[in-house]
Amino acid sequence: MNLARDFPQVVEENFTNEAKERWATDFKILLQRRDVTLPRQRELVGQIHSIKRRVLPSGKVSFDAERTNRGHADKFWAVALACQRERGPERRGTGEIGVRVIG
């Protein structure tokens, strides 16, 4: 199924180490500034805390979580990507970002 065909708001993203570093860092800044509102959901909070920053032998940085029966920190990445989308050039400077997690 091609989601972009059925849902025009879908944007393809490549999960490179550089992209994940940018998303995780930007999301951390939003949380520290209290610019993002999240539900008090144990699983989501657990996934946020499961993301680990590692320096690879090459010197590059990697952000990942261990795979569990509930995924690979999928909710964390979904929220981080939603924040990136909300902070896009057309929406910068509009104030707080509210994120609603469904499911």
- Residue range 40-56, pLDDT digits in tens: 889 999 999 999 999 99
pLDDT of residue 77: 93
Q: Is 2 left (phi over 0), alpha (psi -120 to 50) or beta?
A: beta
**pTM of structure:** 0.74
Residues 27 and 87: beta-carbon distance below 8 Å: no
Which amino acid is present at 47? Answer: Q
pLDDT of residue 66: 84
What residue spans define the domains of the chain?
14-98
| pLDDT tens string 52-95 | 999 999 999 999 988 877 778 999 999 999 888 776 655 444 44
Residues 38 and 100: beta-carbon distance below 8 Å: no
Which amino acid is present at 90? Answer: E
Q: Which two tokens stand for residue 2?
A: 């091609």
Residue 101 confidence class, pLDDT cut points 50, 70, 90: low
